[in-house]
């Protein structure tokens, strides 16, 4: 095997591994909002200090995927909540409901629980 063939063979192996390494770092830092900063630092350090073995460790034992988005991202759900809020405010302004009913209505619309103070 001559030098050019050895270099080409090395590139065939190293380039995909480098792409995996970069994509793992990008995934850890930018695509995992559910990981806290210390966890992101720990995973990044593992991948950086153990370049290719760290990628494989991360792929094998990484935390589960972040939870799926909820229906609150749906524009129709947001529009419905806004309309209910407008109706609630209008009823409160004209005196049809008192402050307690108004607060309970807001908690119901936004899915909040009320606790006694």
pLDDT digit string, tens, across residues 18-45: 888 898 898 888 888 878 899 899 989 9
* Whole-number Å distance between alpha carbons of 22 and 43: 13
Q: What is the tally of structural domains in the chain?
A: 2
pLDDT at 115 over 60: no
Q: Which residue has the tokens 């991360």?
A: 58
What SS3 class is residue 71? helix
Residues 54 and 77 in one domain: no
Residues 19 and 45 in one domain: yes
* 53 within a domain of the structure (yes/no): yes
Residues 12 and 43 in one domain: yes
In this structure, the chain runs to a length of 117
Residues 57 and 75 in one domain: no
Residues 53 and 12 in one domain: yes
96 versus 52: the higher-pLDDT residue is: 96
pLDDT for residue 67: 57
Listed residue (70, 71, 72, 67) closest to 35, CA to CA: 67
Distances in Å between the Cα of 83 and the Cα atoms of 21, 86, 111, 117 are 48, 5, 15, 29
pLDDT for residue 90: 93
Across the range 101-113, mean pLDDT stands at 82
* 116 within a domain of the structure (yes/no): no
Residues 75 and 31 in one domain: no
* Range of the structural domain that residue 75 is part of: 71-110
Helix axes 3-30, 37-49, angle to 10 degrees: 170
């Amino acid at each position: 095997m001559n030098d050019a063939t050895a270099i080409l063979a090395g590139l065939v192996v190293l380039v995909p591994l480098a792409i995996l390494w970069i994509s793992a770092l990008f995934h850890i830092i930018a695509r995992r909002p559910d990981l806290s900063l210390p966890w992101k630092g720990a995973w990044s350090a593992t991948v950086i200090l153990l370049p290719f073995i760290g990628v494989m460790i991360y792929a094998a034992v990484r935390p589960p995927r972040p939870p799926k988005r909820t229906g609150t991202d749906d524009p129709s759900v947001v529009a419905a909540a806004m309309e209910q809020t407008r109706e609630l405010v209008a009823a409160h302004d004209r005196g049809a409901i008192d402050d307690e009913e108004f607060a309970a209505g807001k908690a119901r619309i936004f899915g909040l629980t009320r606790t006694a103070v």
